[in-house]
Amino acid sequence: MASVITSPQYDPIPTAEKLATKAVAGQKAALAAQTALANNTSTALGNLKSAISTFQSAMSAMTSSKSVLNQSATFPTAGYGTATAGIKAVPGSYSFFVEKLATASQVSYGGLTATQTPVAGTSTLKVKIGASDSFDVDLSTADKDGNNLLTPQEIAAAINGDSKNNSRVTASIVTINSTAQLVLTSNLTGLDNAATLDSGGVGDPNLAAALDTNSSNYKEVVKANDATVWLGGKPDGTAITQASNTFTNVQDVKITFTRAMMVSEAPVLLTVATDSTGTAANVQAFVDAYNKLKTLIDGLASPGNPEKNVAAGIFAHDSGLNALRSSMGNALRLSIGGDSLVSYGITAQRDGSMSLNTAKLTAKLATNPTGLDQLFGNNSLSAPAGVLGSLDKVLGQWSNITKGQIMQRQAATDKLQKSLLKSGERLTAQYDTAYKRFLDQFSRLQVMQEQMSKTSDMFDAMFSNNKS
């Protein structure tokens, strides 16, 4: 008898998994591609938002200084002092003779011991500042350790900690030959800030005597002085007297003198001029910030090059991003009074990036230094003007947090990602359904195969017995 031909054996579980996977393979691949695109788009939008924000911060830094142009104020040699010039400083030379520097007063009171006892009731130490200002220190509460002895350190702490002091004077203790001295230092220079003590209201007579400015305990360590500086020279110039060593008499120039001059010395010359090096650094910072943003935008919008295996950017052929690039370029071509950024050596390269010709910038600054600020519009980004204002307006169409392109696109991408997530959940459910169906089918097939196999074995046994 011919043998029975049986069907191939199937393991239900791996078979069901393979068939269910194959059933959803096409949809799964499409969903994975869509998800990857949405995720990459979201990342790209985040990178673009960050890059625009960084560039806008760089522009804000330029406007906060109110000028791209740097002015300098310098002495011919070091040692006389320091000076800085603002954008309104007028170029020129100014001579000064420093007759006297302003100094802060410092006085000391010796003969202090820890034997003075706080008296009950009012015990007030008056700190006098100049001829018309003072504040009172309550010594009746100065005994912080409660030992009924008022130490020099506690007196100093009471002066320094008084709310009316406002750091105008500093009291400290200097010990000489085992004797404590209370040193009172004014924190401001000038005659009107000289500090002394009036002990008339101190209850303890010994302490009052020790802190008496008219006693032998009192010493003037450093005399308070106003500064005297001559504009032009002494005695033919104009004397300027003030409490501080920092002078602002020259328009938008701050000068701090650090030493007085000898009678035999000639006046020192302060030169105010345009700082081409500092200005070039400011312009280069802008150029670098712009190029960094443009490089990122170019990468996002790149069409790629299949022949060189260069992938296209996530926003390749995106009309909105191309319009942004074009508008940024137009903003740079702004012209005011016949001058443009090109006039100051700031030019566009073939790839659209910018470069700075420092020599051309320096030459143009020599003939029209204020024109650079007019071009950039260094007033405020809250009132856009010039190149910076135009760029901020263009970029604002993308970066605006309520209606900007990035916000709108990100919202759409977020919505798509949520939709794709739900599609993934449905696809998983579809897979599970197919898996269960195939598992059921092949489980039944397995049972049938086992039954057929048993039947076949029975027939083989029967025919084998008859034949024997």
Domain boundaries defined on the chain: 32-67+277-407, 71-101+226-274, 106-222
pLDDT (0 to 100) of residue 2: 44
| CA distance linking residue 377 with residue 332, whole number of Å | 12
Q: What confidence tens digit (pLDDT) does each residue in 266-276 have?
A: 999 999 998 89
Nearest to 247 by CA among 98, 130, 106, 87: 98
Indicate if the pLDDT at residue 395 is higher than 90: yes
Q: Is the pLDDT of residue 116 over 60?
A: no
Tens digit of pLDDT for each residue in 181-215?
999 999 999 999 999 999 999 888 888 888 999 98
Which stretch of 180-184, 335-339, 455-459 has the lowest confidence by average pLDDT?
455-459
Query: What is the band of 3 on the pLDDT scale with cuts at 50, 70, 90?
Result: very low
- pLDDT average, residue stretch 400-423: 92
pTM to 2 decimals?
A: 0.65
State the pLDDT confidence band at 52, using cuts at 50, 70 and 90: very high
The pLDDT score that the predictor gives to residue 147 is: 80
CB 242 within 8 A of CB 250: no
pLDDT at residue 376 greater than cutoff 60? yes
Strands 133-138 and 346-348: unpaired
Contact 150, 114 (CB under 8 A): yes
Mean pLDDT, the chain, integer: 88
| Predicted confidence (pLDDT) per residue in 260-306, tens digit | 999 999 999 999 998 899 899 999 999 999 999 999 999 999 988 88
Say whether pLDDT at 428 is over 60: yes
Query: What confidence score (pLDDT) does residue 122 get?
Result: 61
Strand partners, 127: 135, 197
Rounded Cα distance, 395 and 404, in Å: 9
Q: Is the pLDDT of residue 307 over 90?
A: no
- The percent of residues in the chain predicted with pLDDT above 70, rounded, is 93
What is the average pLDDT across 40-69?
88
Supply the DSSP string of 345-382, one letter for each residue. Answer: TEEE-TTS-EEE-HHHHHHHHHH-SHHHHHHHTTT-TT
